């Protein structure tokens, strides 16, 4: 159940946001009260792109570290804050820089496609970045004779390989929230809600994706449910997405595919931490210029295709 935040705390955040000429971004896996005070909510890359086009001097990114790094890559002239420095991403952490460098020595001719859910340092070693929404398009764009190394999500790699009909070398990483959703849990949810459509994120195992009525990004899932006439949906992604789904579709019912689909890192940021961050302009996320420039090239190559 989402909490109703203290009115004076929200007013104080708004005061400091205006004072700092800031913009507050919230990923849809954030707690509902944080999504409600944000200027923009949505997928991580789109949030960074939208913020880069504003006059804001400060970006407060309510998400996890790789998201704030992406904002810093796209907005080097802005101060980027992550209100909780410990908010990381287990998936991104499964592809540490030195191990990626070692793998690249084994596959020197490979085209490296890195998921947006990777560190800035890994993005800087990549030929292309991708998102869960455009991964198939990016993979299809790679010349067929080229070998592909996909970092860091093996489930997204397997999904893209199936859809694009391409061989992909997947990095052995995964998102714990999505990876541990089982086929049996999904089948049980479908039995419990036989009229519901199953919507899942492609970070889920392929055997789960193959059972779905729709597979897509968080934005894709929200848009599909909002534009479809079906009154019931089973959701196979992090439970924070229920907040925007219910706000946009108050007349529809949503059921989690599993109650364990919860990301602790996404819940580390609080309204109090946002206020502290605005008041003190910390914790600040920066990306060294050489890494930023190389990462930006990989992001721009993706944008040229999509």
Give me the domains of the chain, ranges plus CATH numbers. Answer: 7-87+266-287 (3.40.50.10800), 91-174+290-305 (3.40.50.10800), 181-259 (3.40.50.10800)
Report whether pLDDT(46) > 90.
yes
Residue 41 parent element (H or E): strand 40-42
Report whether pLDDT(1) > 70.
no
Residue 129 parent element (H or E): strand 128-130
Contact 222, 46 (CB under 8 A): no
Q: What is the mean pLDDT of residues 84-94?
A: 98
b/e per residue 215-227 (b: at least 16 CB within 10 A):
bbbbbbbbebbee
| 40-42 sheet: strands from edge to edge | 40-42, 22-27, 58-62, 79-81
Closest CA to 42 of 21, 24, 57: 24
Dist. CA 57–CA 287, nearest whole Å: 17
pTM: 0.95
How sure is the predictor about 4, in pLDDT bands with cuts at 50, 70 and 90? low
Dist. CA 93–CA 143, nearest whole Å: 29
Read off the pLDDT of residues 262-292 as tens digits, 9 standing for 90 and up: 999 999 999 999 999 999 999 999 999 999 9
How sure is the predictor about 5, in pLDDT bands with cuts at 50, 70 and 90? confident
**CA dist 130 → 8, 108, 162, 225, 301 (Å):** 40, 20, 16, 23, 9
Q: What is the mean pLDDT of residues 178-186?
A: 98
Closest CA to 152 of 91, 106, 98: 91
3-class SS of residue 238: coil
Residue 167 parent element (H or E): none
């Amino acid at each position: 159940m989402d909490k109703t935040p203290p009115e004076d705390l929200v007013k104080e955040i708004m005061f400091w946001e205006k004072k700092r000429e800031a913009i507050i971004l919230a990923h849809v896996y954030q707690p509902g009260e944080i999504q409600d005070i944000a200027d923009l909510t949505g997928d991580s890359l789109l949030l960074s792109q939208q913020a880069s086009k504003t006059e804001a001097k400060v970006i407060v990114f309510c998400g996890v570290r790789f998201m704030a790094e992406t904002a810093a890559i796209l907005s080097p002239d802005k101060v980027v804050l992550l209100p909780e420095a410990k908010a990381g991403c287990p998936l991104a952490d499964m592809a540490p820089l030195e191990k990626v460098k070692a793998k690249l020595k084994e596959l020197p001719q490979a085209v490296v496609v890195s998921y947006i859910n990777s560190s800035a340092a890994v993005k800087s070693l990549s030929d292309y970045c991708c998102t869960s929404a455009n991964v198939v398009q990016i993979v299809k764009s790679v010349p067929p004779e080229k070998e592909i190394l996909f970092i860091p999500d093996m489930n997204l790699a397997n999904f893209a390989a199936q859809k694009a009909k391409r061989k992909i070398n997947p990095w052995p990483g995964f998102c714990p929230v999505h990876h541990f959703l089982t086929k049996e849990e999904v089948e049980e949810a479908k039995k419990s809600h036989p009229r519901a459509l199953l919507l899942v994120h492609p970070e889920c195992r392929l055997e789960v994706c193959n059972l779905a009525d729709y597979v897509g990004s968080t934005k894709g899932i929200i848009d599909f449910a909002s534009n479809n006439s079906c009154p019931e949906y089973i959701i196979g992604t992090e439970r924070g997405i229920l907040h925007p789904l219910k706000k946009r579709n108050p007349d529809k019912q949503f059921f989690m595919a599993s109650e364990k689909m919860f990301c602790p890192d996404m819940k580390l940021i609080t309204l109090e931490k946002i206020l502290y961050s605005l008041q003190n302009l910390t914790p600040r996320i920066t990306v060294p210029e050489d890494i930023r420039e190389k990462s930006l090239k990989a992001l721009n190559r993706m944008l040229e295709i999509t």
